[in-house]
Structure 1
Amino acid sequence: MLKDVDKVGDKHEVITVKNGFGRNYLLPRGLAIIGNASNMGRLNEMIRREEAQEAKKLDVYKEMAGKLAGQTLKIGAKAGTSGRIFGSITELSVKQQLLEQFGVEVERKKINLPEEAKELGTYTLTLKLHPQVTQEMQMEVVGE
């Protein structure tokens, strides 16, 4: 895989798909390449280059984690009288609130939401910014 595709696979992952899906969807759109020997060498080179770029960004990720340490993210949600929220809290809404409240831009796929965030209250949110940098922070879901 050259890019993340929802419900199919992540970037740089080697997957097996049906012939038609790969030939008619993934390959023409540049989302994947065929996993032969020469392409595997190309993929390994791409992985090595991107890991080097991520290593350069490590200080930026540590600074982000330091900025978010001890902070509480407030997210407004519509809720019923029992405190149960309508709909759900999504990674996109968390991403937008992180940008608005703290000025920190985090990719959606790096946000791990707690499964039990269905009611008003405080939950623990995990941000996996880098393989070496993981930051937990409090997320408070409040009624609008």
Structure 2
Amino acid sequence: MSKLILTNEVVGLGGAGDVVEVKDGYARNYLIPQGYAVAWTRGGAKQVEQIRAAREARAIHDRDEAVALKDSLEATKVRLTGKAGQGGRLFGSVKPADVAEAVAAAGLGSIDKRKVHITSPIKATGEHEATVRLHEDVVAVITLQVVAAK
């Protein structure tokens, strides 16, 4: 088992600044190469505090504010445009950063791209769903309307 410090939120494992123990292969082959974690060291306590402070600065502090943002996100469809070929197939796919930019462009507020989770790759036009973790216990489901760019 490897002891790691998470640098980003990993669904089902923890948030940035958390110290976790995972199997060696998961740490060596996925978490560390993707930049989601760093190896834990004795001097890592300072690093943990810096990561947690940065996470707190980005977080929505008030649960009521998160619920209000959730209601506004779920009430509207977020429109995304992308280059598409015949049949509505996109060149590439929709990424969490694209969703965060579209939400900001729609005037619904700013969300952290690291909090956006797309369950299955979005590679075609149409309506799709994505989830956003706004607060520890507030998760919004966003309806994405993907259209072809003209």
TM-score normalised by L of structure 1 = 0.67
Aligned to 1:67: 72
User: Residue 141 of structure 1: CA displacement?
Assistant: 0.6
Unaligned runs of 5+ in 1: 23-30
User: Residue 104 of structure 1: CA displacement?
Assistant: 1.0
Q: Secondary structure at the match of 2:145?
A: strand
Alignment partner for residue 34 of structure 1, among 25, 30, 41?
A: 41
When residues 114 and 142 of structure 1 are mapped into structure 2, their CA distance, relative to the original with a 3 A threshold, is farther
User: Residue 60 of structure 1: CA displacement?
Assistant: 1.6
When residues 34 and 79 of structure 1 are mapped into structure 2, their CA distance, relative to the original with a 3 A threshold, is same
Aligned to 1:57: 62
Q: Does the aligned pair in 2 maintain the 1:91–1:108 contact within 8 Å?
A: yes
When residues 139 and 13 of structure 1 are mapped into structure 2, their CA distance, relative to the original with a 3 A threshold, is same
Q: How many residues align?
A: 126
Amino acid at match of 1:34: T
Q: Distance in 1 between matches of 2:148 and 2:88?
A: 8
Q: Secondary structure at the match of 1:85?
A: strand
Q: Percent identity?
A: 20
Q: Does the aligned pair in 1 maintain the 2:9–2:115 contact within 8 Å?
A: no
Amino acid at match of 2:41: I
1:43-90: CA deviations, max 9, x gaps?
Answer: 59x96xx78x96842122112112212210110011111211001111
Quick check: which one's strand share is greater? 2
Amino acid at match of 2:67: K
Looking at CA atoms only, which structure, 1 or 2, has the larger radius of gyration? 1
RMSD of aligned C-alpha atoms? Answer: 3.8
Q: Distance in 2 between matches of 1:97 and 1:135?
A: 15
